[in-house]
Amino acid sequence: MNFSLTVGLPHYLLVGAMLFCFGLYGVFSKKNAIAVLMSLELMLNAVNINLIAFNRFLWNNPVEGTKHLLLNGHVSAIFVIVVAAAEVAVGLALVISIYRSRLSANVDELDWLKW
Amino acid sequence: MTFPVLTLTLLAPIIAALVIVFLPQDEPKTVKITAALGTFTSLALSLFVYFAYNKQVGGFQFNETIAWTKDLGVTYALGVDGISLPMLLLTNLIGFSAVFASWNIDKRPKEFFILLMILITGVMGTFVAKDLFIFFLFYEVVVIPIYIMVVIWGSSKRVTKEYAGMKLTIYLLMGSAFLLVGLVALYLQSGADTFMITELAKRSATMLPKDFQIIVFGLMLLGFGSLISMFPFHSWSPDGYAGAPTAVSMIHAGVLKKIGGYGLIRVGIYVLPLGAKFWAPVIAILAIANVLYAAFIALAQKDLKYVVGYSSVSHMGYVLIGMFALNMVSVDGAVAQMFAHGVMAALFFSMIGFIYEKSHTRYIPDLGGLAHQMPRLATGFMIAGMASLGLPGTVNFIGEFTIFLGSIKVFLIPAILGIAGIIFTATYNLRVLANVLFGPRRPEWDHLQDIKGPELVPLFVLAFVVIIGGVIPNLLMDMVNSGVHSSGIAAVIQALGQAKGGIF
Amino acid sequence: MIRMEASFQWAWLIPALPLLSFLIIGFITKKWPKLSSTISIAAILTSFVLAVWVDFGVFASGVGAELVEKPYQHVVNWLTFSGVPWGLSAAPLNIEFGTLIDPLSAMMLFVVTLVASLVQIYSVGYMHGDKGYSRYFAYQSLFAMSMLGLVLSTNLLQLFIFWELVGLCSYLLIGFWFFKPSAREAAKKAFMTTRVGDFGLLLGILFLLNKFGTLNFVQLFHMMTPEVKAMVAVGGVSYLTLTAFLVFIGPIGKSGQFPLHVWLPDAMEGPTPVSALIHAATMVVAGVYLIARIYFLFQGASPAALEFVASLGGFTAIFAASIAIAQNDIKRILAYSTLSQLGYMVMALGVGSLTAGMFHLMTHAFFKALMFLGAGSVIHALHEKQDIWEMGGLWKKMRITGTTFAIGVLAIAGVPPLAGFFSKDEILSAALHNGHPVLFGIGLFTAMLTAFYMTRLFVIAFMGPEKAENHPHESPWVMTLPLVILAFFSIVGGWAGIPEHGFAYFVRPWGSEFEPEAMNWLVAGPSIIVGLAGIILSYIVYYGKASDPVEAAFPRVYKVLKNKYYVDEFYLWIIKHIVDGIGKVLYWFDIYIVDGIVDGLAWIARSLGSLFRRAQTGQLQVYAIIFFVALIVLFLAVTYGEGQLHALNPLALGGGK
């Protein structure tokens, strides 16, 4: 039995995928708009994990001629975090304003833009 | 490069429109005068071109060519010949008159005249464009102002103005969709990498196989045919005219319809002669349907504009049969008839417009005896009616006679049926004249003022053209002859070699 | 001879002057009635003088006979078609305008300008004080221009154009009092009925032009070769026969031949001088003139064509004469009489005598214009009363009108030596001479009928018992002077036909040999006898009666005659039920079927739209699931189905890459 406890890329990806699926499930099934937003955050974070993991395991080399490592994945993750923050701010604002006027945050009832 | 007189003709109304944009909203008089000046400049320039054109030389003159989108092979190419010149002149005659026919507009005059100027420019552009793409572009420019004008300044009678405007616009856009397909097909198949009509025509014999021509001509027929209100694609026309304000009815019936006829000659016959020959018998039958069917329906109408609307459908039948008898004389006649009908229809609509504006009704049984109160208007109405029934001495007779002469040789039975149409045309026209103008004086119309001042301009301009064209027909016919002879259509027609048969 | 040609060169002025007068009145002097009428009369009188000058050149200088062989023509190009060779002449197609002078047109010039001048002078009195006085004279001038242009036409299209213009003037003048619905309807009816005839004429013109490539009368005449005559159109009918029939439809409409005669009696709604000029003396005979102009066409056609012309003319003559017996409106009696006399002229042409037809045209113009103007004088005196039974005793009060009217009656009844006797006699002898005994009989009987109803009119209106409520007075001199002049011509006009005076020598078909003919007393005798018989019979029946004895004796026949054989009712029924019916049915078809399909297409588009929008639930999560599933499907397809996917490429379907 050779247990290798090394945590490698597949593990990160697995965690990312699980998180993503949880998020996806939440987005599809939750009725409360806030819960949907939270699930969305889960999915975004899953993506962040992937980005950073890929950067660490596949692209862990310095920029040509310097000692600095390439950090594209990290930067992207930070972008995602910023965008997510902004998105949550806007999303929550919308949800709250809808809730105020309709007294409901049930996404099934928010279909009055359909036609 | 010579003096760009055609571009200037196109620009005059646009400049007027730009000036109007900067005029204050509360000075409608200035707006109208500016519009009149703009259209007058165009009219004067096109008159100059008409008389400066060298008929002996023929062909396209006053050419202007600027490469526009080289990659696509689109050229801003303008030029006129004996077929487009009468149309250009017609547009400006009617455009100029239309401004005066709308002299009493007081609802948003600024917007109205801006749109009118754009409309006139668009129509003019289609007639002077030598490039099919530019032609199409100008055509599209025309459609939108019309929609807006009908919906805002129109009138609702049997159908609402919204319905009328929508019907008109959708019909024209559907037509242009078919046109666009045909146009692109032509461009690709000819391999000329240009939209220049003359270039396309040069390659038609070698590059465009017969089947291709038949299909593409069919597409063009759908497009141009609905524009010229060929049966059964005519139903937009009466409703559209009825809904539209006077100026739009005038321009629409007067010139816009003629774009269809013009396109059928320029593109249909000239570029796709084999297709034209294939479809000619079908068109002849539909054309006769136009003539008789619409004439009978006009008999049953009670709304003045519907009478003239159906009458113009009926007259277009003559144009179609003349065009597709495919001989020199009949094509001559078709062009002359387009001009003649344009002037007549514009005169008719402007007179009806004044009646409606003053009495607020177009319902024939409500009217009557108007010759008592409005003798000048009655004169104009009378001239229009007589021109409509093709009385000799009006330019319409010249057109009709020439068409009959050319087409009876080719389509004996349809032509005879078409000529029988003159009886029914006379019937509905005389009925309208009798019921609207004549009869006992009606006190309820005693308050109506006869047309005066600027309102007389359409009457004078258009009636003068109707009569001078009928008395000295060579003013028009020499030009048309030179057009048909020199534009290459003559060669095409000869090549088609009409089989001689029948009793002639 | 050169001096004479000078007058021919100026012949174009004859129609041009009235045109000028029309323009001046229409644009300038409309506000000043007296000035307008003066201008108009001055113009037509000048034309009359010019016409006399031309006539002098034609008849008095010895060139007349030459002109029959070679008419004088002066033309300018008017309308060029596309210059392609056309028809037999193979010359580039164009239409000319100009003047053609031969004895036929010269004779017509004289008649038209004379009657038109007199009528216009008369109108000064008759139309005095009318609101549309200037307008009236403008129309009169326009009419004079059109009619003279028609007479001088060098080709068939020019003739057709003026033909339509006289129709227009007739329309305008019938409807002159447009506030009267009856006048309005009559004008419309006249235009429409003649339009039916014009349809045939136009077809004939087109057939001729297409075949021959020219419409010039002289050129056409010279093209009538035996080969041309032998050409067959359809079904064994020769081409010329077909064309002749078509062209003849025009005169049927214009000259009021059965079955298109219905408009002429109604046209009496116009002012009476108009009836005299247009609907008796000039315009209605345009059809006769047209037949005479293209007589060579009928001669070249198969005999059936002329046979048909003669029969129709004869039938119209007797048909209209019989109706005239039962009419009570003075103008309508004269109108039916005109129809009958027009039938006479057409019959004359049909039996092969152009001379007789044109001769009768001329004399008829004199005496019928005379009687119409006389009737106008009576109507004027009685304040618009037109029923002859309400008249009576006018003879004593209106001596000039009465005397001149009597001359007219005697002239039309064919009493020698008045004008009608000579022309009627020529027609009858031509019918007998050329082998039409039946038509001769009809003509003779019609002559008796004519004498009968004309005497009836005169006896009742002028010699009947006086009515207390009427205060007739003689008309002013401007109205009686034309009566006197016309009475003079009604007496002497016929003398032109005496063989020595040579009417027949001048007015004969082109290229025909002149055959002098002595008076045929075998024909003239019976003709005089039936004329006198008609007069005497009528006098016996009607003198001193206050109501129609014929109506009492034959009520059924009388009713049919009074209702004009119900022809109008029949046409009205056709127009109302058939023509308008078709119109309504087609309109229904247009709105509900053609437009229905259009609106139906729009409806289909709309309903498809509203069907598919159901797919839009508005629930974000459903969209997301669909999006996700689609993504997976696409992913799988791209991963595992590469080859198959390529086949779906629309570009690949077209064969390209």
DSSP code per residue over C357-407 = HHHHHHHHHHHHHHHHHHHHHHHHHTTS--BGGG---HHHH-HHHHHHHHH
Chain segment C229-273, per-residue pLDDT in tens: 777 777 678 888 888 999 999 999 999 898 898 998 888 888 999
Q: Which CATH number fits domain A9-60+70-108: 1.10.10.10, 1.10.287.3510, 1.10.287.610, 1.10.3720.10?
A: 1.10.287.3510
Q: Using CB atoms, pick whichever of C613, C619, C624 lies closest to residue A115.
A: C613
The CA distance from B82 to B488, in Å, is 11
Alpha carbon of A53: minimum distance to chain C alpha carbons (Å)? 24
Cβ–Cβ gap A115/C617 under 8 Å: no
Confirm if C587 and A86 have CB atoms less than 8 A apart.
no
Strand partners, B131: B196
Q: Using CB atoms, pick whichever of A27, A111, A115 lies closest to residue C619.
A: A111
Neighbours of B112 (CB within 10 A): 26
Cβ–Cβ gap A115/C628 under 8 Å: no
B372 touches chain C (CB under 8 A): yes
Closest Cα to residue B469, out of B322, B329, B340, B350?
A: B340
Please provide the average confidence, as pLDDT, over all residues in chain B.
Answer: 88
Closest Cα to residue C238, out of C224, C250, C228?
A: C228
Torsion-angle region of residue C157: left (phi > 0), alpha (psi -120 to 50) or beta? alpha
A64 touches chain C (CB under 8 A): no
The model's confidence at residue B20, banded by pLDDT at 50, 70 and 90, is very high
Q: Using CB atoms, pick whichever of A28, A29, A111 lies closest to residue C618.
A: A111
Chain segment A4-15, per-residue pLDDT in tens: 678 888 889 999
Chain segment B220-269, per-residue pLDDT in tens: 999 999 889 888 888 888 888 888 898 999 999 889 899 999 999 988 88
Chain segment C416-451, per-residue pLDDT in tens: 888 888 888 888 888 888 888 888 889 889 999 999
Chain segment B33-91, per-residue pLDDT in tens: 999 999 999 999 999 999 998 888 888 888 888 888 888 888 899 999 889 999 999 99
CA-CA-CA-CA torsion sign (B443, B444, B447, B449): negative
Confirm if C482 and C373 have CB atoms less than 8 A apart.
yes
Q: Using CB atoms, pick whichever of B300, B329, B408 lies closest to residue C93.
A: B329
Q: Which residue ranges make up each domain of chain A?
A: 9-60+70-108
Closest Cα to residue B287, out of B418, B428, B420?
A: B418
Q: To probe the interface with B, which of C27, C78, C82 has the most B CB atoms within 10 Å?
A: C82
Q: Using CB atoms, pick whichever of A36, A110, A115 lies closest to residue C616.
A: A115
B58 touches chain C (CB under 8 A): no
Cβ–Cβ gap C621/A24 under 8 Å: no
In chain A, residues with a C-beta closer than 8 Å to the C-beta of C620 are 36, 107, 110
pLDDT score, position B500: 44
Interface of A with C in 26-45 (CB under 8 A): 27-29, 36
CA-CA-CA-CA torsion sign (C273, C276, C279, C283): negative
A3 touches chain C (CB under 8 A): no
Alpha carbon of B231: minimum distance to chain C alpha carbons (Å)? 9
The CA distance from B252 to C395, in Å, is 65
Query: If you average pLDDT over residues B166-195, what whole number do you get?
Result: 88
Query: C192 CB contacts (<8 Å, ≥6 apart)?
Result: B423, B426, B427, B430, C263
Q: Which chains touch C (3 or more CB pairs under 8 A)?
A: A, B
Omega of the bond leading into C465 within 30 degrees of 0 (cis): no
Alpha carbon of B420: minimum distance to chain C alpha carbons (Å)? 6
- The H or E element spanning position C425 is helix C419-433
Q: Which runs of consecutive H residues, i.e. helices, occur in C97-225?
A: 103-126, 133-152, 156-174, 181-212, 217-222
pLDDT score, position B143: 87
B188 touches chain C (CB under 8 A): no
Q: What 3-state DSSP class applies to B61?
A: strand
Q: Which two tokens stand for residue C637?
A: 């397809």
pLDDT above 70 covers a percentage of chain A that reads 96
Our answer on whether C and A touch (3+ beta-carbon pairs < 8 Å) is yes
Number of A–C residue contacts, CB under 8 Å: 29
Q: To probe the interface with C, which of B166, B235, B409, B422 has the most C CB atoms within 10 Å?
A: B235
In chain B, residues with a C-beta closer than 8 Å to the C-beta of C239 are 503
pLDDT score, position C83: 65
Q: Which chains touch A (3 or more CB pairs under 8 A)?
A: C
Confirm if C443 and C343 have CB atoms less than 8 A apart.
no
As a whole number of Å, the CA-based R_g of chain B is 21
Confirm if B364 and B447 have CB atoms less than 8 A apart.
no
pLDDT score, position C5: 65
In chain C, residues with a C-beta closer than 8 Å to the C-beta of A110 are 618, 620
| pLDDT reading at B343 higher than 90 | yes
Chain B residue with minimal CA distance to C194? B423
Chain segment B303-329, per-residue pLDDT in tens: 999 999 999 999 999 999 999 888 888
Q: What 3-state DSSP class applies to B401?
A: helix
Chain segment B414-442, per-residue pLDDT in tens: 889 989 989 999 999 999 999 898 888 88
Q: To probe the interface with A, which of C611, C612, C620 has the most A CB atoms within 10 Å?
A: C620
Our answer on whether C and B touch (3+ beta-carbon pairs < 8 Å) is yes
Q: To probe the interface with B, which of C93, C194, C206 has the most B CB atoms within 10 Å?
A: C206
Cβ–Cβ gap A113/C625 under 8 Å: no
Closest Cα to residue B79, out of B487, B485, B480?
A: B487
Query: B210 CB contacts (<8 Å, ≥6 apart)?
Result: B274, B275, B278
* DSSP-assigned letter for residue B73: T
pLDDT above 70 covers a percentage of chain B that reads 98
CA-CA-CA-CA torsion sign (B415, B232, B266, B295): positive
Confirm if C183 and C189 have CB atoms less than 8 A apart.
no
| pLDDT reading at B483 higher than 70 | yes
B473 touches chain C (CB under 8 A): yes
DSSP code per residue over chain A = --------HHHHHHHHHHHHHHHHHHHHH--BHHHHHHHHHHHHHHHHHHHHHHHHHH---BPTTSSPBP-HHHHHHHHHHHHHHHHHHHHHHHHHHHHHHHS--BGGG--TT--
In chain B, residues with a C-beta closer than 8 Å to the C-beta of C179 are 369, 372, 438-441
pLDDT score, position C654: 46
In chain A, residues with a C-beta closer than 8 Å to the C-beta of C617 are 111, 114
- List the beta strands (DSSP E) in B138-178: none
Closest Cα to residue C324, out of C351, C348, C309, C343?
A: C343
Cβ–Cβ gap C619/A108 under 8 Å: yes
Cβ–Cβ gap C580/B438 under 8 Å: no
pLDDT score, position B499: 45
Our answer on whether B and A touch (3+ beta-carbon pairs < 8 Å) is no
| pLDDT reading at B124 higher than 90 | yes
The CA distance from C94 to C75, in Å, is 12
CA-CA-CA-CA torsion sign (B136, B137, B143, B149): negative
* Predicted complex ipTM: 0.91
Cβ–Cβ gap A107/C619 under 8 Å: yes
Cβ–Cβ gap A110/C618 under 8 Å: yes
Q: Which residue ranges make up each domain of chain C?
A: 566-616, 617-657
Chain segment C476-510, per-residue pLDDT in tens: 888 889 999 999 998 888 887 776 667 777 778 87
- The H or E element spanning position C288 is helix C286-293
pLDDT score, position C644: 61
Closest Cα to residue B65, out of B193, B186, B196, B204?
A: B196
Confirm if B88 and B124 have CB atoms less than 8 A apart.
yes
Confirm if B150 and B243 have CB atoms less than 8 A apart.
yes
Alpha carbon of C576: minimum distance to chain B alpha carbons (Å)? 11
* DSSP-assigned letter for residue C19: H
Chain C residue with minimal CA distance to A25? C625
Confirm if C283 and C253 have CB atoms less than 8 A apart.
no
Query: If you average pLDDT over residues B117-125, what whole number do you get?
Result: 93
Strands B74-80, B61-69: parallel, antiparallel or unpaired by DSSP? antiparallel
Q: To probe the interface with A, which of C619, C629, C631 has the most A CB atoms within 10 Å?
A: C619
B335 touches chain C (CB under 8 A): no
Per-10-residue mean pLDDT of chain C, 657 residues long, equals: 65 90 90 90 92 83 73 84 71 83 88 92 88 90 92 91 92 90 90 91 90 86 81 78 90 90 89 88 90 88 88 92 88 91 91 87 91 89 83 82 90 85 86 86 90 89 80 84 90 77 76 68 82 88 81 83 86 88 90 88 91 82 88 85 60 45
Strand partners, B67: B75
Cβ–Cβ gap A112/C624 under 8 Å: no
Q: What 3-state DSSP class applies to B327?
A: coil
In chain C, residues with a C-beta closer than 8 Å to the C-beta of A112 are 618
Q: Using CB atoms, pick whichever of B234, B369, B431 lies closest to residue C188.
A: B431
Cβ–Cβ gap B392/C161 under 8 Å: yes
pLDDT score, position B502: 44
pLDDT above 70 covers a percentage of chain C that reads 94
The CA distance from C22 to C142, in Å, is 6
CA distances from C390 to C331, C333, C468, C535 (A): 14, 15, 10, 22
